[in-house]
Structure 1
Amino acid sequence: MDQNYPEVKLGLIAVSRDCFVRSLSENRRKALVEACVKRGISVYEAKTTVENEKDVLKAVDEVKNSGCNALIVFLGNFGPETPETLIARFFSGPVMYAAAAEDTGKDLTNGRGDAYCGMLNCSYNLGLRKLKAVIPEYPVGTPDDIALMAADFVPVARALLGLASLKIISFGPRPQDFFACNAPIKGLYDIGVEIEENSELDLLVAYRAHKDDARIPTVVKSMADELGAGNRYPDILPRLAQFELTLLDWAEEHRGSRSYVSFANKCWPAFPTEFGFEPCYVNSRLTARGIPVSCEVDIYGSLSEYIGACISHDAVTLLDINNTVPRDLYEGAIKGKYPYGLNDVFMGFHCGNTPRCKLRNEDNTALKFQLIQNRLLEKGGEPDVTRGTLEGDIAAGDITFYRLHANADGALQAYIAQGEVLPPATNSFGGIGVFAIPDMGRFFRHVLIEKRFPHHGAVAFGRYGKALFTVFDYLGVPEIHYNQPKGLLYPRENPFA
């Protein structure tokens, strides 16, 4: 399968108000390009400087013909408010607006650009025209400042471009009693994402059609090489390889007009008995390739994972916000060693869908069986059809826990919380880790519970809250929640508690 996310080709258009010195904007544009090059940011410099509406058409054609799919509109001086905002209308990809700070106090006559003021009129006119744009937190700066803004913009643009051409493919209705995975489809259409819903039977028929596929031995070898000493059930790898090929072929055959895909698949209770394995390890492998496969038909979980994969350019995972950390484990392995209270830590868990590259390199990281399903389907006996999970403790390091979701009323909402996975061993099963998020207890109560978020959360491995917030804001998500620090009360938090 081709790369499952877009490559960003960044363009730069400078604008100039006709009563200002045009060369000021052009010279500042040149300096900005040089600053981007120094930071390793590739950017196409449009030679057309926009002063009027005809310039808009010429400049947009120039960047489109060069292959640009994301754009920086640079106010090198005050800027022409109508033409500069029309750029966002005629350019089909994401656009960021930024403005030049003044260069020197030694030349504030002909050398003054007033772009600080121009950004106000720019924003006002974008609003009048109901045009979307990315505006950095402080969008005025030196060439080096704006080069940093450009670096922040690239992963945001990658996610927005990916979503604009994403199809989520689902198999099976959600399992019974999993109303948390309810997925009002209208919210997907609102942000430009397509959805294809299928039956588990469709998937089973496709899987059986891949029996004795000539590619199976190659995939089996890839799995064995990845698992190494953790390959505890080599006899089940051909079944898993057959399933992996089934999903990849389905993606190719069903992407339709879309360039990118993700999956939201049913995995219990009938799946293991009918397919003969648990799909978790296959899910992990595709997710590691940038093709998220969420568990339990969690369509918005799959969407969230895909956004995180685009932003981080890395593997992601989907976990249950699962269980508390026992007090004895906290006091023995966490208290006094890390700056977290007992209510700041919890365990994130799923059966075995976290990519191998995000698990610790320890003896207990291996291909295993789903303990809970084994109790139900195989009465706790020797596992067969419940094999196929990838289990182990999640590697320590920075994380961002987040989710974009449509609530029971169909309205989009989101949360973002940065934290880390701690090193202490979990001494448990599944793909699991000890997560620490500052003020998690209050966040759990006043965001996750109060706003009725489901128990699934996406995890990106690093600190990506800034980019995620920008993406959610651009998409028009009305509520974007975060873990507020002590002293900043949530709207309905009891001040007397």
Structure 2
Amino acid sequence: MYKQTVVLGVVPVKRGFLSMEEARRQKDKFMKVIRGVKPEAVKIIDVDDLSENGIMWELDKVPAVIDKLKANSIDALFIPFCDFGEEQVVAEIARAFDIPVLIWGARDERPNTLESRGRDTQCGMFAATKVLSRYGVKYSYIYNCETESPEFEKGYENFIRVAAVIKALKGLRVAKIGERPGPFMSVMTNDANLMKHFGITVVPISPFRIAETATKLIKEQTEDFVTYYEELTGRMDCSTMKTDEIEKAAGVKLAVKKHMEENRCSVGAFECWSAFPGLIGICPCVALGELADEGMPLACETDVNGAITMAILRACDLYENAEFLADLTIRHPENENGELLWHCGPFPYSLKAKNSSAALVNAQEQFELKQGDLTICRFDELDGKYSLFAGEAKTTTGPKTSGTYVWMEVDNWKRWEEKLMFGPYIHHVGGVYGKYLPILREAARYLGIEFDDAHKEGIHSL
């Protein structure tokens, strides 16, 4: 299963003359919280070996902290304030990196008195963030709340998800298996711009090579091939297909995975119906869903921006569940805010509804997806300007249809449709189960692209 871990540098800060005992108390509290949030997805790098109690305030120790964080190749930086903090220390550390930065400090329990001085945490964060802005450092912020509050834990987890998205796109390699279908001008992309703006590399892989490798696997009947063939036919009704057709579908899936791994690609765009029937005799849509379940999703119809969309969704979900790419097809016949998310048969089997039987027909899956909350997203471009459309929805019931599908209900379909029609988008959108709108909004800010919120008004239709 393909997965990435976020390496997080954590550098607590304090004011030099304020109480170390109180600062340590604050640090112990928030470190206990963050170590319990998604520990399987986060590797924390602290500075306990570089400063007293692992809390920074001395400017002369900044270079050593930066060196350690760079040596550990951190993906994101969290600077929690134990009190007012030291804005010079904060700024010098943060400006040394081009990664997401999180600022937060716990809410003070009481004001200062004649007898004792409090922490003035919020005050210090106002000062430090002004300096960060002067240096051009982009940062995220959790508002001044208690350490044990749901707001802090949720804000921290959201930041980890944002950092995962930014990491996912840095150095992303997208397998481009074939060319776009001739009629599909809408899926055109500019590979050079993707590399320039995001460091994304599009790697061409010939469909002929895939077909050649699949044929070899079928002929050799390797242990991996036989095991996968038996597993696939054991969970899907393949009664309408011939044995050699099923073998071809299984072979293509294994061949695509092999070539993607050899080319260090974790997502891909696949020339399906316009290439493979002529090369191997079937349209192996099942390969797309099966690889999504292994953390290596592919977009139909050589939709490179669709593949990047799924890379974004995969990361904001911290690689816990599979994502899918769907056509926006028809409106619900009875629900004014309902829309059909459909494609001919490339959705992940893991997302299948329990009461929906799974079949393989013409090497294309046939089943309905499960019910639940959805986040819908589309990364796309026009004239060199990139946008990220996103909205939250929920599934609903509707008429049965062919292929793989699920009915979606949104807050206001008219607004969604207007956004999609007037924006630089096409009929393909990515979907993932869960609610991730704040993560996508913040990720778009770090990426320097327009965030197109489906829940806000745009250009109106007539």
TM-score (norm: length of structure 2) = 0.88
Show the counterpart of 1:384: none
Q: Is the 8 A contact 2:81 2:104 kept in 1?
A: yes
Q: Is the 8 A contact 1:187 1:411 kept in 2?
A: no
Specify which of 338, 356, 360 is matched with residue 345 of structure 1.
Answer: 338
3-state SS, counterpart of residue 50 of structure 1: coil
- CA–CA separation in structure 1 for the residues paired with 2:295 and 2:179: 24
Change (3 A) 1:156 1:388: same
3-state SS, counterpart of residue 141 of structure 1: coil
Specify which of 416, 420, 425 is matched with residue 453 of structure 1.
Answer: 425
Q: Which residues of 2 match residues 104-119 of structure 1 at below 5 A?
A: 104-105=110-111, 110-119=116-125
3-state SS, counterpart of residue 343 of structure 1: coil
- CA–CA separation in structure 1 for the residues paired with 2:33 and 2:370: 36
Question: Bigger CA drift: 151-160 or 277-286?
Answer: 151-160
CA-to-aligned-CA distance 1:168-190 (integer Å, 9 cap, x gap) = 11022211221221212213531
Show the counterpart of 2:311: 306
- CA–CA separation in structure 2 for the residues paired with 1:95 and 1:423: 41
- CA–CA separation in structure 2 for the residues paired with 1:116 and 1:314: 37
Show the counterpart of 1:262: 267
Change (3 A) 1:222 1:95: farther
Show the counterpart of 1:338: none
Q: Is the 8 A contact 2:16 2:57 kept in 1?
A: yes
Following superposition, the deviation at residue 224 of structure 1 comes to 2.0
Specify which of 401, 415, 422 is matched with residue 389 of structure 2.
Answer: 415
Following superposition, the deviation at residue 127 of structure 1 comes to 2.7
CA-to-aligned-CA distance 1:172-221 (integer Å, 9 cap, x gap) = 22112212212122135312322212443343444445452413212212
2:281 counterpart of 1:283 = no
- CA–CA separation in structure 2 for the residues paired with 1:148 and 1:435: 26
Q: Which residues of 2 match residues 21-420 of structure 1 at below 5 A?
A: 21-37=19-35, 41=39, 43-47=44-48, 48=51, 49-63=55-69, 69-91=75-97, 94-105=100-111, 110-136=116-142, 138=143, 140-145=144-149, 146-185=152-191, 186-213=193-220, 214=222, 215-227=224-236, 229=237, 232-233=240-241, 235=243, 236-255=245-264, 261-312=266-317, 313-326=320-333, 330=334, 342-362=335-355, 364-368=357-361, 387-407=362-382, 409-420=383-394
CA-to-aligned-CA distance 1:410-462 (integer Å, 9 cap, x gap) = 211011111111133x22111112111111112211x1111131110000112
State the identity as a percent. 20
Structure 1, unaligned runs of 5 or more: 331-341, 369-386
3-state SS, counterpart of residue 90 of structure 1: coil
Change (3 A) 1:53 1:482: farther
2:412 counterpart of 1:439 = yes
Show the counterpart of 1:334: none
- CA–CA separation in structure 2 for the residues paired with 1:40 and 1:271: 41
- CA–CA separation in structure 2 for the residues paired with 1:108 and 1:190: 55
- CA–CA separation in structure 1 for the residues paired with 2:121 and 2:26: 12
CA-to-aligned-CA distance 1:120-158 (integer Å, 9 cap, x gap) = 33333333222333334x2x2222243332222222222
- CA–CA separation in structure 2 for the residues paired with 1:194 and 1:108: 61
Structure 2, unaligned runs of 5 or more: none
3-state SS, counterpart of residue 92 of structure 2: helix
Following superposition, the deviation at residue 15 of structure 1 comes to 1.4
- CA–CA separation in structure 1 for the residues paired with 2:80 and 2:157: 15
TM-score (norm: length of structure 1) = 0.82
Question: Bigger CA drift: 68-77 or 85-94?
Answer: 85-94
Question: Bigger CA drift: 233-242 or 396-405?
Answer: 233-242
Question: Bigger CA drift: 469-478 or 299-308?
Answer: 469-478
3-state SS, counterpart of residue 78 of structure 1: coil
